[in-house]
A and B are shown apart, each in its own frame.
Chain A
Amino acid sequence: MRTDPKAPKKQQGISFLLIDMNTPGIEVRPIITLNGEHHVNDTFFTDVRVPVENLIGEENKGWTYAKVLLTHERTGIARVGQSKQQLHLLKALAGEQLQNGRPLIEDPIFKRKIDAVEIDLMALEMTDLRVLSSVATGGAPGPESSILKIRGSEVQQAISELQMEVFGYYSAPYVPETHRTDYSGDFVGPELASTTTPNYFGLRPATVYGGSNEIQKNIISKAVFGL
């Protein structure tokens, strides 16, 4: 929230408030994303009254807090563990799906694509560990955390894209009822194919949220290179 519209710089005059979502004047409008799901909303505030004790920290220090939170968010977005799990799944899927009667993973061209993303992920994990080790004694991650955001989101997208590629024609069917965890009917094609393309679509925002990857590159060139 902007609490001092007259502050000389835009970064100043921002504060954090804790707001009860049942307060009159708050309107939440759902946003359906590319993958057909509802995770995000537009939230409109019209004359919403918030008690003074709901101020978080000091007034007009919101940007300072946000910057620290964002460096943590960038580190978290690297999602190394999740990508390892998804890579494992990718290998399993490519081991099951056939091409000319043989598992797709035996195709050296496809195998190389999996290997290439695995190496990207190894490098990412080590970069992540370097950042973590530098903050082990306290403090926030430096601008290097932007590397984790950029590469982490790209690796997630690359793995989901290869998972989609595994299924060929069966990456196309879109049967949302089969996505439910309690679904017990027949699947169209392989069971895991049903969510693979929605996942690929659902990961497109990964290079936008948490500060877009373009912004992360600005941060590195400014904070690391001093440009």
Chain B
Amino acid sequence: MNFDLNEEQQLLQESVQKFVQNDYDFESRRKLVSSDRGYSEAHWQTFAELGWLGVPFAEADGGFGGGPIETMLLMQEMGKALVVEPYLATVVLFGGCLRRGGSPEQRERLLGGIVAGELQGALGFTEPQSRFNLLDVATQASAANGGYVLNGLKGVVLNGANADQLIVSARTSGDTRDPEGISLFLVDANAPGVERRGYPTVDGQRAAEVRLNNVRVSNQDLVGELDGGASLLQAVIDEGILAVGAEAVGCMEKLVHTTVEYSKTRKQFDQPIGQFQALQHRMVDMFIAQEQAKSMMYLAAMRMAEAAPDAEKVVAAFKVQVGNSARLVGQEAVQLHGGMGQTDELDVGHYFKRLTVIQHQFGDVDHHLGRFGAL
């Protein structure tokens, strides 16, 4: 198997590495996390200038024609520095829906704005009762005068409060958990009837509760097929899984490295704790977990890039591996740092928190084990 990156991919990887090394130290990130928007608009412009915001979009849409491998590389490097800019929400999720299901008019109108760093987006696909089931949609879209009226609540919408445009899943027919009858709609985040409550999440990112009260949208705001939104949504969420999974691999690489280095300097009983075999073995287990997740990351990215028939099943397997690895590496990194690992001051706890969120984001281990078995 050939795991070599081509020249463009190497350049992309190096450009993210360079950015996080020069401009994303932990103290600067801490300031961004507590700022009003929760991320840096200047960094976002840098992302646009470096071409990252156009990575997954077709050249005809103003993008760079990249695919799963490119998204993987970008997110893995961002994971190493716990980047909080909403790349996942705007480019992967919101942009992914438009790329896969958007009409030429929608792509023309919106993708340019994403690529230029002028438009923030969010995807509302979960609800209070839905847990990880994408089909569990109670939000209603009723046909009315050449358009639809939306009513419902989308919960924990990533980047929901900062977004200019939203895409939400809603029922145009069928019962709450029917596979048919889900449609995706573009909604102006400032349209009458859209009520947003933004808040931070435990990993230093931002999300919002988005209530839709008689929100009017036109027929042109439908993204993808009427009643056929479920498969589009699933495909985009699978891309989200690859993205956060790669981010998790980056977080794990950073944590394993940091923990091993700490064990060389922290002394107990007059010797570095890294000299104790009991701890050496535990750090080796962390390393193995990281490497297994990385292997599955490559497999998932390659299968998705080939649009292989088993891509969906491999993605489910990847999310299971990421969930298990992220849990072990995060918990052990904190434990092996002892008292210091429990502090907000040290970055270790912050990586642990991001890994904790990724464990359940887009479905936890049990959910994807079930999906793997069923596919």
Instruction: Please report A residues at the B interface, Cβ cutoff 8 Å.
Output: 31-34, 36, 97-101, 104, 107, 109-110, 164-165, 168-175, 188-190, 197-198, 200-201, 204-205, 207-209, 212, 214, 217
A197 touches B366 (CB 8 A): no
Complex interface: stretch among B72-80, B181-189, B227-235, B332-340: B332-340
A189 near B155 (CB under 8 angstroms)? Answer: yes
Among B131, B199, B278, B345, residue most surrounded by chain A Cβ atoms (within 10 Å): B131
Identify the interface centre among B132, B136, B202: most chain A CB within 10 Å of its CB.
B202
- Could you tell me which B residues sit within 8 Å of A by CB distance? 126, 128-129, 131-133, 136, 155-156, 176-177, 197, 199-203, 207, 209, 278-279, 331, 334-335, 338-339, 341-345, 349, 352-353, 356-357, 360-361, 364, 366, 370
Q: Main secondary structure on chain B at its contact with chain A?
A: mixed
Q: A168-B364, A214-B278 are in contact. Are A174 and B176 (CB under 8 A)?
A: no
Chain A, Cβ-Cβ closest to B369: A109
Assess the A204–B331 pair: CB atoms within 8 A. Answer: yes
Q: How far is the CA of A107 from the CA of B364 in the complex (A)?
A: 14
List the B residue with the shortest CB-CB distance to A166: B131
The answer on a CB contact under 8 Å between A173 and B207 is yes
Which of B207, B344, B364 meets A34, CB within 8 Å? B344
- Complex Cα distance, B199 from A200, in Å, reads 20
State in angstroms the CA–CA spacing of A33 and B352 once bound together: 13
Chain B residues lying within 8 Å of A212, measured Cβ to Cβ, are 335, 338
Which residue of A34, A170, A205, A208 has the most chain B CB atoms within 10 A of its CB atom?
A34
A145, B200: Cα distance in complex, Å: 41
**How far, in Å, is B271 (CB) from chain A's closest CB?**
14
Neighbour of A169 across the interface among B331, B334, B339, B360, CB < 8 A = B360
Residues of A contacting B356 in the complex (Cβ-Cβ under 8 angstroms): 164, 197, 200-201
Closest to A202 in B: B342
CB nearest to A197 among chain B residues: B202
Instruction: Please state if B335 and A208 are interface contacts (CB–CB under 8 Å).
Output: yes
> Given A33-B343, A101-B136, A208-B339, A172–B126 Cβ distance below 8 Å?
no
In the complex, the chain A residue whose C-beta lies closest to that of B338 is A208
| Bound-complex Cα distance A34 to B351 (A) | 11
Would B278 and A205 count as touching, CB distance under 8 A?
no
Asked if A170 meets B155 with Cβ closer than 8 Å, knowing A99-B133, A101-B136, A200-B356, the reply is: yes
**B209 neighbours in A (Cβ, 8 Å):** 188-189
**Closest-CB distance, A10 to chain B (whole angstroms):** 10
Is A189 touching B207 in the complex (CB atoms < 8 A)? Answer: no
Write the chain A residue with the least CB distance to B350: A34
| With A169-B131, A189-B155 already in contact, 16 other A-B pairs whose C-beta atoms are closer than 8 Å | A31-B344, A34-B353, A98-B129, A100-B133, A100-B136, A101-B129, A170-B128, A172-B357, A173-B156, A173-B207, A190-B128, A204-B334, A204-B342, A207-B335, A209-B339, A212-B338
Is there contact, CB below 8 Å, between B202 and A198? yes
Task: For B366, list chain A residues within 8 Å (CB).
Answer: 107, 109-110
- Could you list some 14 contacts between A and B, CB below 8 A? A34-B353, A97-B131, A107-B366, A168-B131, A168-B360, A174-B201, A189-B156, A200-B356, A201-B202, A204-B342, A204-B352, A208-B341, A209-B339, A214-B278
In angstroms, how far is the closest chain B Cβ from the Cβ of A114?
Answer: 13
Considering the complex, give the chain B residue whose CB is closest to the CB of A167: B360
A169 to B366, CA, bound (A): 14
Instruction: Give chain B residues whose Cβ lies under 8 Å from the Cβ of A209.
Output: 339
Answer whether A174 and B360 are a contact pair too, CB < 8 Å, given A97-B131, A168-B132.
no
Closest to A177 in B: B199
Q: How far is the CA of A201 from the CA of B344 in the complex (A)?
A: 11
Q: In the assembled complex, how far is the CB of residue B158 from the closest CB belonging to chain A, in whole angstroms?
A: 9
Q: A101-B136, A170-B155, A198-B202 are in contact. Are A189 and B128 (CB under 8 A)?
A: yes
Q: B341: which of A99, A189, A204 is its contact (CB, 8 Å)?
A: A204
Query: Shortest Cβ distance from B341 into chain A, in angstroms?
Result: 7
List residues of chain B with CB within 8 A of the CB of A33: 342-344
Cα of A36 to Cα of B349 in the assembled complex, Å: 11
Closest to B334 in A: A204
Q: What is the CB-to-nearest-CB distance from B272 to chain A, in angstroms, rounded to a whole number? A: 14
Contact B344 A173 (CB under 8 A): no
* A104 adjacent to B279 (CB under 8 Å): no
| Residue of B177, B197, B278, B339 contacting most chain A CB atoms (<10 Å) | B339
Residue of B nearest to A168 (CB): B131
Hey, which chain A residues are within 8 Å of B197, CB to CB?
Answer: 188
Contact A174 B199 (CB under 8 A): yes
Closest-by-CB residue of B relative to A97 is B131
A63 to B200, CA, bound (A): 45
With A168-B131, A169-B360, A197-B356 already in contact, the answer to whether A32 and B335 are too (CB < 8 A) is no
